[in-house]
Structure 1
């Protein structure tokens, strides 16, 4: 069972997932706070390089399976053309109504 994007609790996370799933770079950047950071499997990554490679040039897509009560943590089936599909965990820090940091990795 998946959770529809419009049912995600936290508005900034909802905007992030909607932009990711639509492949809309401009909306994705708009969901992030300037200077946002991220990590993948515990390693800090360059956000622009990672998002280009793992989301936009490889047609990334997220199907959310569950969210924490505050909406700042997700478990999702994530797929892209580079890696196929895997179960992933996502944690978000919101600053000023936008994603200031996200951490992802295999769940």
Structure 2
């Protein structure tokens, strides 16, 4: 049974999952620090290009199965129109101001 996004421990991660699932690009971008970075399967990627391809233009959706590390690490079933559904891991670096400066994802 997935964890409802509203029940996730970290408010920034909760907002990230909520924005992904609502396809709210503006809300999503407001969660990231100006110099935010990300990696997919261990390789750094161009943030803007990746979120467009993997989240917004392909209708990405996260169903979180568990969280750890104070809510900064997730295991989720992630699906989009490009790849279908896969089990993924996500980790987040959240700054003191609550913005996400880095996230990493990949197959779990």
Is the TM value for this pair above 0.5? yes
Deviation at 1:98, TM superposition (A): 1.0
Partner of 1:53: 53
- Answer yes or no: is 1:65 the counterpart of 2:85: no
What do residues 13-47 of structure 1 show as CA deviations (whole Å, max 9, x unaligned)?
Answer: 01111001100100000111111000000000000
Q: Which runs of 4+ in 1 moved over 2 A?
A: none
- Secondary structure at the residue paired with 2:71? coil
What is the TM-score of this pair, normalised by structure 1?
Answer: 0.98
Tell whether the 8 Å contact from 1:16 to 1:32 is kept in structure 2 after alignment.
Answer: no
What do residues 61-83 of structure 1 show as CA deviations (whole Å, max 9, x unaligned)?
Answer: 00000000500000000000000
1:1-107 mapped onto 2 (5 Å cutoff): 1-95=1-95, 96-107=97-108
- Secondary structure at the residue paired with 1:35? strand
Deviation at 1:84, TM superposition (A): 0.2
Distance 1:52 1:75 in 2: 22
- Equivalenced residue count is 107
Distance 1:64 1:58 in 2: 19
* Root mean square deviation of aligned Cα: 0.6
Residue segments in structure 1 that go unaligned for 5+ positions in a row? none
Residue segments in structure 2 that go unaligned for 5+ positions in a row? none
